[in-house]
Amino acid sequence: MEDSTIIDLYFARNEDAIVQTKTKYGRMLNSISMRILHSLEDADECENDTYLKTWNVIPPQKPDIFSAFLSRIVRNLSLDRYDMMHADKRGNAQVGVMLDELAEVIADDRAGGLSESRELAEILNRFLSEQKELTRKMFIRRYYFGYNVSEIAEKYGVSESKVKMTLLRVRGKLKDYLEKEGVTV
């Protein structure tokens, strides 16, 4: 089913919208959450919370890119759950490492206002569009989807040290780019 049709079901308050969303995007949402939480039960709960949140925000919102809209919701719900788990000393250190890598470069967009996060997203998109394709893909897999270094290396057939070095360099370039754009950490 087309995304526009699914969104129309949400606007019609037809519960089949959730069924169709789960059918089309359930595996993707669960995968994003699993990479952050490393717990099937927690990932399933975040996936289900994504459907509820989507139901509550459509309408009035009408997303342009439905998959990106859903990805952002599940990612933020998963990061919130990770924060809760981490505060209780039950979290998985991998996500902490991933977030720490970016902490020196970019602020957490969940805390800022919507207009600030959109502006930051536009700046980040411009920055990434100027990078080599492989660098851009590595960055997105690492910092948006939560892949670990070894998974990225295997996916692109490169060594782990190449992935680490590429990510280190792109973070440095991003920091310089953000400063040039007037964005402070």
> Any idea where the domains of the chain sit in the sequence?
3-90, 96-180
Return the CATH number of the domain spanning residue range 96-180: 1.10.10.10
Reported pTM: 0.64
- Place 89 in a pLDDT band, splitting at 50, 70 and 90: very low
In the predicted model, is pLDDT for residue 97 greater than 70? no
The token pair that represents 183 in the structure block: 């964005």
The CATH class that applies to domain 3-90 reads: mainly alpha
pLDDT of res. 13:
95
pLDDT of res. 103:
65
